[in-house]
Amino acid sequence: MPSVVGLLEQRELTARRRVDELREEADRIQAELAVAEQDWKEWVIARSRVGQVLAPGGDNVAGPEASQGQRDPGEQPVRPELPDAAKPKSVVPMWRAGLAWSALSVDYQRILRVLADRDRLGQGPLTCQEMAVAFDVDVVPAKVEALRSKAKRLMARAWLAEPAPGRFTLAKGVAGPGGGS
């Protein structure tokens, strides 16, 4: 007959796995939301520009240099993309020398930026509660745990180190935002 403690540990492990899965799903949805918000902002800007051009009495007359950059009407528009930028549904890649921070989503980049600043200033590791304060986020358990989950994920993929329980710093070799080494 299994022990009560063993059964409790089993249930705790199952619950912990479910929490981790949900956190990863939330990260994925946040990345998709960021992309959708950027797309929306671009449409708002486009509509605003067209409104300015079509406004009565507008002095926006296109000169010869404005027509030089026009495309063929049948040509498909090309959307500029950053080659190393994190895509929605992306996972945190394992750190390796030369890997740019842009391979990470914005939330992970923010964590690395704060820790890099502290490292540059000679300050020590940060707790997740201190990160929440640095990000001007409410220091409530849900927000702190979300940061902890991200920090642990970065640590598991060699971007961060945890010299003391709950205190995070950049891993050895991880450099500033420009790149890996």
C-beta of residue 128 within 8 angstroms of C-beta of residue 85: no
Two tokens at 46? Answer: 């486009």
Q: Which fold has domain 101-170?
A: Arc Repressor Mutant, subunit A (1.10.10)
Mean pLDDT, all residues of the chain: 80
pLDDT at 48 over 80: yes
pLDDT at 65: 45
Across the range 150-175, mean pLDDT stands at 90
Q: What is the percent of the chain where pLDDT is above 70?
A: 77
C-beta of residue 111 within 8 angstroms of C-beta of residue 151: yes
Two tokens at 8? Answer: 């409790």
Phi (first) and psi of residue 167, to 5 degrees: -120, 125
pTM of the full predicted structure? 0.49
Domains in the chain: boundaries: 4-57, 101-170
Rounded distance, CA 31 to CA 88, Å?
A: 5
Rounded distance, CA 55 to CA 91, Å?
A: 45
